[in-house]
Amino acid sequence: MSSLVSTLFISAFVSATLLPGSSEIVLVGVLSSNEVAVGLAVLVATIGNTLGSCVNWGIGRFFSHHRSHKWFPVPHEKYDRFTTWYQRWGIWSLLLSWLPVIGDPLTVIAGISRTPILVFTTFVFVAKAVRYLVVAGIFLTIW
């Protein structure tokens, strides 16, 4: 059980960073093993994914002065678009942090915009939890 939980945590963490990953598939695999309670699996995935998003926030917060460099995770041409969008919708846009493609850059922009970490973590945790609950619910309905 502990190796499944660890694998799920690592997968969820990496999936939330700018690295590729698909923690939903790992969650379904863990749930199908029947070795980990659904609530625990959802909680572990949510915590791992939220912490991975905190890495993105930190990159935005502490490395934004490097945003013109090639290695910066939000390309220069998209930076203005994401920043304008984040300024328009504010912290409520973090409820979309679970979405592919836009979720990771949003979390970086939240750091650049100096969104307080407690506010950031709360909104992102809720968004990620809802996503994993939906995935688990669909799996349990089908399984």
Give 36-63 pLDDT, tens digit per residue: 999 999 999 999 999 999 999 998 898 8
Q: Domain map of the chain by residue range?
A: 2-142
Single pTM value for the model: 0.89
How much is the pLDDT for 20?
A: 74
Shortest CA distance to 30 belongs to which of 14, 41, 44?
41
Helix (H) or strand (E) holding 133: helix 117-142
pLDDT in the model for residue 83: 82
How far apart are the C-alpha atoms of 12 and 48, rounded to whole Å?
5
Residue 34, by phi and psi: left (phi above 0), alpha (psi -120 to 50) or beta? Answer: left
Q: What is the pLDDT of residues 62-120, one digit of tens each?
A: 887 777 777 777 777 777 788 888 889 989 999 999 988 788 889 999 999 999 999 99
Could you tell me if 4 and 38 are in contact, meaning their C-beta atoms sit under 8 angstroms apart? no
> What does the alpha-carbon distance between residue 63 and residue 35 come to, in Å, rounded to a whole number?
41
Res 1: pLDDT: 63
Tell me the pLDDT tens digit for each residue of 113-136: 999 999 999 999 999 999 999 999
Residue found by looking up tokens 């304008």 in the block: 84
Q: Looking at residue 87, what is its pLDDT?
A: 87
